């Protein structure tokens, strides 16, 4: 999820041929609620990975150091 607009995230997803939509939080409500932003004027969210179970339970929060390799690292550890 980013603070970019829905339109900007859609363009980004199309540019990189993602097969899923990107979530937008332009008002920073979710970023503030989850601690990824300190104020509503932050330019960008801190990078965290949230692992959510199939029933919607937040299972784990990871301070993301390697955004490009995070998903593979998590999947390989399961």
H/E stretch holding 50: strand 48-52
Q: What percent of the chain has pLDDT over 70?
A: 99
The confidence score (pLDDT) of residue 71 equals: 75
In this structure, are strands 58-63 and 48-52 parallel, antiparallel, or unpaired? antiparallel
Indicate the pLDDT class of residue 78, thresholds 50, 70 and 90.
low
pLDDT digits (tens, 9 = 90+) for 26-60: 999 999 999 999 999 999 888 888 888 999 999 88
Tell me how many helices (H) and strands (E) the chain has.
3, 2
pTM: 0.70
Task: Report the chain's mean pLDDT, rounded to a whole number.
Answer: 88
Q: Which residue from 26, 5, 16, 8 is spatially nearest to 67, judged by alpha carbons?
A: 16
């Amino acid at each position: 999820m980013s603070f970019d607009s829905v339109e900007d995230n859609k363009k980004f997803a199309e540019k990189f041929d993602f097969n899923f939509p990107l979530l937008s939080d332009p008002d920073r409500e979710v970023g503030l609620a989850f601690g990824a932003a300190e104020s509503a004027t932050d330019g960008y969210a801190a990078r965290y990975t949230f692992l959510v179970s199939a029933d919607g339970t937040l299972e784990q929060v990871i301070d993301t150091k390697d955004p490009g390799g995070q998903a593979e690292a998590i999947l390989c550890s399961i």
